[in-house]
Chains A and B, each alone.
Chain A
Amino acid sequence: MGSSALIMLLVCGIGFAGAGIVISFILAKTSKNALKGEPYECGIETTGTSWIQFNVGYYLFALIFLIFDVELVFMYPWAVAAKQIGIVALIEIIFFMFVLFLGLLYAWKKGALEWK
């Protein structure tokens, strides 16, 4: 029952989002103009494309995020069963978190978390 309701909601969500864009497309009038199509940059003429390489810092954070997020997902099954499986699992997960935290400390020490 759960997934069928989710699929119904999915259809409703796509329908609503699609309908809004289509209706505004039908209702509103448009006019074309070469100057109007320019990217808005406070009135100054634009130089070059915007599809450029951006600051490497963003990639670094994305990489660290990926590592931690995957390890975070490992911890969810343990958290659900934490009450039943008790002390051995807890000690194991503390080791796991300790290693995880060492990784964070390493990234910290290496300056990967410094925003420049």
Chain B
Amino acid sequence: MSTLIIIKIIIILVIFAITLFIAMYSTYAERKIAAVMQDRIGPNRAGPWGILQPLADGGKMFFKEDFIPAFANKKLFIIAPGIAMFTALMTSAIIPWGGSITIWGQTFDLQVADVDIGILYILGVVSIGVYGIMIGGWASNNKYSLFGAVRSSSQMISYELAMGLSILAVIMTTGSLSLKDIVEAQDGGKWNVFYQPLACLLFIVCAFAECNRAPFDLAECESELIGGYHTEYGSMKLGFFLFAEYINMFISSAIISTLFFGGYNFPFMHDLGLSSNALTIVGTLVFFAKICFFIFFFMWVRWTLPRFRYDQLMHLGWKTLIPLAVFNLMLTGGIMLLRDLF
């Protein structure tokens, strides 16, 4: 029992470290990819190819003046970035990073917690994330911040509905809320994207909106709202808001791969003749490759599509995505019924 707890703690710390590392290097990747797409060089001063840039940025954030505006609500102003960061970190708990590994006769899963409610937990924690932005924007006592915060909350709750509805279709076909079960059900190349293409598309669009990423980055559209909800923020508090955004992007990519692209499964994985431990390790690497692809996809879209106008955003969410998601749900139900009957 005690070894199991030690292993759990090690898994938690490793996942923490990997999450932070990938989030850090996403900032570097974003700047490099932006540079490539715009035919620039990008960061190249800190270390070879600018590879130490994220460390330099992080260090700078710590030493910047810890500034609180005179008219702000002090307590809430300090708590808000903490909430954003904390909720971003908590979502990593139920993602199955790989199969199970056996060491010294002990078998354990590469997952912090396989809770029964699974995907509902993620929807719940993501909803708490709205508070970080809303509290931060409100407590700043700045009109731009308030606008950014209100827009962002409104956008996040609007797209959460379509997101929940698109996940429902996957849950119907799998019959479980646990992400582990959803991945296991996609074993052998039966990825959900082939069976639920519409749900996949809807989910990816909603994930973009939930992460406040372009083309849905109305919460902080620079040309209209300066910095949006974090206009008044500086030092590590600003760092946490930005960092939370990148962690959310990483987790969203992980959830997209888990729900629709087979998670740690890959085609012909049982024909390779690998031992179960080796298969788990290869599967985890494949999973991370998929995640990296989706992170790249997030950045690719950012530098390809222009930003929506606010009314377009609301119309897309309520008048297109939700009806489509309901339609997809009915379609899935109908097909399941027909397969039962015949």
Binding site for B on A (CB under 8 A): 1-6, 8-10, 12-14, 16-18, 20-21, 23-25, 27-31, 34, 36-42, 46, 49-52, 54-55, 58, 61-62, 64-65, 68-69, 72, 75-76, 79-84, 86-87, 90, 93-94, 97, 100-101, 104, 108, 113, 115
A55 to B5, CA, bound (A): 51
| CB of B267 within 8 Å of the partner chain | no
Q: Which residues from chain B contact A41 at a C-beta distance below 8 Å? A: 142-144
A3-B142 in contact (CB<8A): no
Q: Which residues from chain A contact B150 at a C-beta distance below 8 Å? A: 54-55, 58
**B164 — nearest CB in chain A belongs to which residue?**
A72
In terms of DSSP, what is the predominant structure of the interface of chain A?
A: helix
| CB of B26 within 8 Å of the partner chain | no
Q: Which of B9, B177, B340 contacts A76 (CB 8 A)?
A: B177
Q: Which residues from chain B contact A86 at a C-beta distance below 8 Å? A: 337, 340
**A51 — nearest CB in chain B belongs to which residue?**
B141
- In the A-B complex, list the 10 residue pairs whose CB atoms are closest, starting with the nearest: A37-B70, A24-B236, A115-B311, A2-B113, A17-B82, A39-B142, A5-B113, A13-B89, A79-B171, A17-B85
A61 to B66, CA, bound (A): 36
Q: Which residues from chain A contact B240 at a C-beta distance below 8 Å? A: 17, 20-21
A2 to B112, CA, bound (A): 8
Which segment of B287-295, B297-305, B321-329 sits at the interface?
A: B321-329
B175-A28 in contact (CB<8A): no
Among A58, A61, A108, chain B packs the most CB atoms within 10 A around the CB of A61
A50-B112 in contact (CB<8A): no
A17 to B24, CA, bound (A): 15
A50-B141 in contact (CB<8A): yes
B319-A108 in contact (CB<8A): yes
A82-B157 in contact (CB<8A): no
